[in-house]
RNA sequence: UGGGGUGUCGUCAAGUGGCCAAGACACAGGGUUUUGAUCCCUGCAUUCCUAGGUUCGAGUCCUAGCACCCCAGCCA
């Protein structure tokens, strides 16, 4: 494939240094070691392209090796899909396709060797007991009672394990390291478990299977890998990787860890992807909404776009979440240069051109790809009846909408200027047809008088167009990080797939081959689905929309108009209309009060200090700004007034004001509301 | 609270003691345009998790904190 360009990251630095020192005879040999228990996703693509890219860059080698050490989870179906995906991505393993299961015998012999060295033992503890003996993060573990078996006994037992003399789970082979090691992985890890199960490649040849930590370093060592690159979660396993190889005194590759890829608006764990498939939330591993390689391929992504993406995201050790927008950018960037353009109307509305002859078909030239002159031209039929996009017409155009509306003139791409004269609706008010006229002088879209038009619309001839189906895909999840939710299924994007069956496309599109990608002008990039297209009847998958400034503008105004009514509910109702509800009113504790004392306040020329009896043990002190109306406060004494009793007390420099006295005010008047009645202080007013 | 990692713009990510802290995506503004696309221009971290320190000079070195991630499968 293409030659890998050097990227600057820490793994390059490590390799450069190794080469400088002449380590491994200056070889570079990498590998991609998938377990065939699921489909590959874009996170794997990052690893595949990293490993194979490094091999290319340093003129080394790259192996594809299946890490098939667990017969319970692995299947040939997955092997096949993985091979297809890695090949499609362009990684070249030449003749080096390997299986860990091919090394089972060598691994077995190595285990015997380790037993002989007194570094491994057969343990009879149950899985539960092993867990208990392991200790915790903060407490050391303790030795198994079987830890001190002799080399002879261990050898005998292990041989019999291999011969099938023991039941599943009854015995394991463990490395003898250190049960008090602060790294849990070093507390006598299990190397082999008894598993009477059929393996997808070795069948019934084995009934003991090696564990990852034991097997992986051996696989790398056997293949003479120089740099064994894996993801961060294996960092704590590296001491073990090193311990096994050192104990065996074998060729020793270097394990290097990097951060796995996380992509916004999707999930990347095999378990969750499997769940999406099994529970039918998507239509399979290759559903175009899936972040799997096969899903992306069916969606219309290309190896080059994925390669470009992995180059842009870089390689580092910090946990990160890459913006889906970057992946979308990469595929747009490529398809813009390569995809031939066609016209297709996703949501058609009929246009009738009054002044165009009924029986005439005019063939017009259209450019196949403005980015690539070599793509040539094609001819488009133009007739009296056309379809245009329903969204390209607005009977009452909003601000900044400059497409078609009554009385307005637009350009039909590669054709003529068109003016809307009349809107025809059905009984329900839905627009059925647009009656328009065209200007014959504007052929191929130019006006001789220099008249300008603000918009250019795509269109198809109603007589010639074909009806096809399209699937409009969107992001699978509605939030950036679905994994952060209680249940990631709760945030599945309900609109991730919209199937539309009445897409009107120009005739040439009927001839397209499955797997070909085109641009529907102004709408997006679409690929003819490889699974459901039939000869002459393509089914289109939308890979990605074009960037759309108008859609963004619309969204913004929608958002702001959505927010406004929400605000208005709070503010407008009480303020503009002067209304509160009965609930608001019932919050006010209004009492009858009798003024028992009233006087001026020293240093405050507006305030009067009142002592008001509202039926409580003691009168309340209330400061009221009513002095302008009561130069002689004494006249207030003995009057019955209305007091807001549950007003939050307010500290003033003259003292605490514990309520409010209602007063009425008008032009030049201010008076405390007082009254004569049978009501007594403390009575509630409603 | 054991061990292993990581902290630089909204998101990725360069930077390996010495010009005003690369670049990309996103975002905002402008220009060109027969795709409201593409393309082009402009803007976008006085600051690198925090606090001290070393130094003529620190994102880079030292010390002490803080935050986040991984590990207790007979999964990989």
- Give the distance, in angstroms, between residue A70 CA and nucleotide B75 C1': 8
Q: Residue A203 above 90 pLDDT?
A: yes
Q: Are residues A562 and A519 in the same domain?
A: no
Q: Are residues A416 and A454 in the same domain?
A: yes
Q: Are residues A206 and A235 in the same domain?
A: no
Q: Are residues A217 and A99 in the same domain?
A: yes
| Chain A residues 272 to 311 with C-beta below 7 Å from nucleic strand B | none
A546 CB-to-strand B distance under 7 Å: yes
Q: How large is the average pLDDT for residues A441-460?
A: 94
- Give the distance, in angstroms, between residue A245 CA and nucleotide B2 C1': 26
A354 assigned to some structural domain: yes
Q: Are residues A612 and A660 in the same domain?
A: yes
**Interface ipTM above 0.95:** yes
Non-local CB neighbours of A383 within 8 Å, separated by 6+ positions: A356, A360, A361, A362, A461, A462, A463, A464
CATH of the domain at A623: 2.40.50.140
Q: Are residues A349 and A329 in the same domain?
A: no
Give the Cα separation of A423 and A405 in Å (integer).
9
Q: How large is the average pLDDT for residues A67-88?
A: 98
A67 CB-to-strand B distance under 7 Å: yes
DSSP state of A478: S
CATH of the domain at A60: 3.40.50.620
A237 CB-to-strand B distance under 7 Å: yes
| Mean pLDDT for all residues in chain A | 90
Q: Are residues A454 and A394 in the same domain?
A: yes
Q: What percent of chain A shows pLDDT beyond 90?
A: 79
Q: Are residues A431 and A487 in the same domain?
A: no
Non-local CB neighbours of A618 within 8 Å, separated by 6+ positions: none
Q: What confidence score (pLDDT) does residue A571 get? A: 25
A537 CB-to-strand B distance under 7 Å: no
Q: How many domains does chain A have?
A: 5
A677 assigned to some structural domain: no
Q: How large is the average pLDDT for residues A286-291?
A: 98
Structure token pair of residue A488: 């990631």
- Give the distance, in angstroms, between residue A10 CA and nucleotide B54 C1': 28
For the stretch A142-195, pLDDT in tens is 999 999 999 999 999 999 999 999 999 999 999 999 999 999 999 999 999 999
Catalytic entry in A142, A147, A260, A627 = A260
Distance of CA A466 to the CA centre of its chain: 35
**A243 or A8: whose pLDDT is higher?**
A243
- Give the distance, in angstroms, between residue A12 CA and nucleotide B16 C1': 14
A108 assigned to some structural domain: no
- Residue A533's closest CA among A324, A223, A253, A300? A300
Give the Cα separation of A152 and A635 in Å (integer).
114
- Give the distance, in angstroms, between residue A309 CA and nucleotide B24 C1': 10
**Would you call A147 a catalytic residue per the annotation?**
no
Q: Are residues A84 and A181 in the same domain?
A: no
Handedness of CA A235, A241, A247, A252 (dihedral sign): negative
Structural domain for A401, as ranges: 344-458
Predicted TM-score (pTM) of the model is 0.82
A145 assigned to some structural domain: yes
Q: Helices A303-313 and A324-338 meet at what angle, rounded to 10?
A: 140
Question: What distances in angstroms separate CA A602 from CA A133, A143, A636, one per listed residue?
Answer: 82, 87, 18
Q: Are residues A419 and A330 in the same domain?
A: no
Measuring from the CA of residue A34 to each C1' atom, give the nucleotide at the shortest distance. B76
CATH of the domain at A363: 2.40.240.10
A604 CB-to-strand B distance under 7 Å: no
pLDDT confidence band for A640 (50 / 70 / 90): confident
- Give the distance, in angstroms, between residue A210 CA and nucleotide B12 C1': 38
Q: What confidence score (pLDDT) does residue A611 get? A: 77
> Which of residues A458, A487, A521 is at a domain's end?
A458
A571 assigned to some structural domain: no
SS3 category, A493:
coil
User: Which residue gives the smallest C-alpha to C1' distance to B39?
Assistant: A371
Nucleotides of B under 7 A from a protein CB: 1-8, 10-16, 23-28, 34-39, 68-76
**Would you call A35 a catalytic residue per the annotation?**
yes
Q: Are residues A140 and A278 in the same domain?
A: no
Q: Are residues A286 and A359 in the same domain?
A: no
Q: How large is the average pLDDT for residues A549-566?
A: 69
**Would you call A362 a catalytic residue per the annotation?**
no
A464 assigned to some structural domain: no
Count each helix (H run) and each strand (E run) in chain A, helices first: 14, 35
Q: How large is the average pLDDT for residues A612-630?
A: 74
């Amino acid at each position: 494939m293409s030659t890998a360009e050097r990227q600057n990251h820490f793994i390059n630095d490590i390799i450069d240094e190794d080469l400088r020192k002449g380590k491994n005879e200056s070889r570079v040999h990498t590998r991609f070691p998938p377990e065939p228990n699921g489909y590959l996703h874009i996170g794997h693509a990052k690893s595949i392209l990293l490993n194979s890219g490094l091999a290319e860059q340093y003129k080394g080698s790259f192996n594809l090796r299946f890490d098939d050490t667990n017969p319970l989870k692995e299947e040939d179906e997955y092997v096949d899909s993985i091979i297809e995906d890695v090949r499609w991505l362009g990684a070249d393993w030449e003749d080096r396709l390997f299986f860990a299961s091919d090394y089972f015998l060598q691994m077995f012999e190595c285990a015997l060797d380790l037993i002989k060295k007194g570094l491994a033992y057969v343990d009879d503890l149950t899985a539960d007991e092993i867990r208990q003996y392991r200790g915790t993060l903060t407490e050391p573990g303790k030795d198994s009672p079987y830890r001190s078996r002799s080399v002879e006994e261990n050898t005998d037992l292990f041989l019999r394990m291999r011969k099938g003399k023991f039941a599943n789970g009854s015995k394991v082979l463990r490395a003898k390291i250190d049960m008090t090691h602060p790294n849990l992985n070093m507390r006598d890890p299990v190397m082999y478990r008894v598993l009477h199960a059929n393996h997808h490649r070795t069948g019934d040849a084995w009934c003991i299977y090696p564990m990852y930590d034991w097997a992986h370093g051996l696989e790398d060592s056997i293949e003479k890998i120089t740099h064994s690159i894996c993801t961060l979660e294996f960092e704590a396993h590296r001491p073990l990787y090193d311990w096994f190889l050192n104990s065996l005194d074998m060729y020793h590759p270097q394990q290097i860890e990097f951060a796995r890829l996380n992509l916004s608006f999707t999930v990347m764990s095999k378990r969750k992807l499997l769940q999406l498939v099994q529970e039918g939330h998507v239509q399979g591993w290759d559903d175009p909404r899936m972040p799997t390689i096969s899903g992306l391929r069916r969606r219309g992504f290309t190896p080059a776009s994925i390669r470009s993406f992995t180059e842009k995201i870089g390689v580092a050790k910090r946990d990160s979440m890459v913006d889906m927008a970057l992946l979308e950018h990469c595929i747009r960037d490529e398809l813009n240069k390569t995809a031939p353009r066609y016209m297709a109307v996703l949501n058609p509305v009929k246009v009738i051109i009054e002044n165009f002859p009924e029986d005439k078909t005019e063939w017009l030239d259209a450019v196949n790809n403005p980015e690539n002159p070599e793509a040539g031209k094609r001819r488009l039929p133009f007739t009296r009846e056309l379809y245009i996009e329903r969204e390209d017409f607005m009977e009452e155009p909003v601000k900044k909408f400059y497409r078609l509306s009554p009385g307005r003139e637009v350009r039909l791409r590669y054709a003529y200027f068109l003016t809307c004269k009349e809107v025809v609706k059905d009984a329900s008010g839905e627009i059925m047809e647009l009656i328009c006229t065209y200007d014959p002088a504007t052929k191929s879209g130019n006006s001789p008088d220099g008249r300008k038009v603000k918009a250019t619309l795509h269109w198809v001839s109603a007589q010639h167009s074909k009806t096809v189906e399209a699937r409009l895909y969107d992001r699978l999840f509605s939030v950036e990080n679905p994994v952060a939710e209680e249940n990631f299924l709760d945030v599945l994007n309900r609109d991730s797939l919209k199937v539309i069956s009445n897409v009107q496309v120009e005739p040439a599109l009927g001839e397209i081959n499955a797997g070909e990608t085109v641009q529907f002008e102004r709408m997006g990039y679409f690929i003819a689905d490889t699974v459901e297209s039939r000869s002459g009847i393509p089914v289109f998958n939308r890979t990605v929309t074009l960037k759309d400034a108008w859609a963004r503008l619309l969204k913004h105004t929608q958002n702001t108009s959505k927010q406004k009514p929400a605000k208005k509910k709070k503010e407008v109702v009480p303020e503009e209309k002067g209304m509160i509800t009965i609930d608001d009113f019932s919050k006010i504790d209004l009492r009858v009060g009798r003024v028992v004392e009233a006087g001026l306040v020293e240093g405050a020329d507006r305030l009067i200090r009142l002592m008001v009896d509202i039926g409580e043990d003691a009168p309340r002190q209330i400061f009221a700004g009513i002095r302008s109306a009561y130069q002689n406060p004494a006249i207030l004494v003995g009057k019955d007034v209305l007091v807001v009793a549950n007003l939050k007390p307010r500290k003033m420099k003259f003292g605490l004001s514990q309520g409010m006295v209602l007063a009425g005010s008008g032009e030049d008047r201010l008076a405390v509301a007082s009254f004569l009645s049978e009501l007594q202080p403390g009575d509630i007013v409603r």
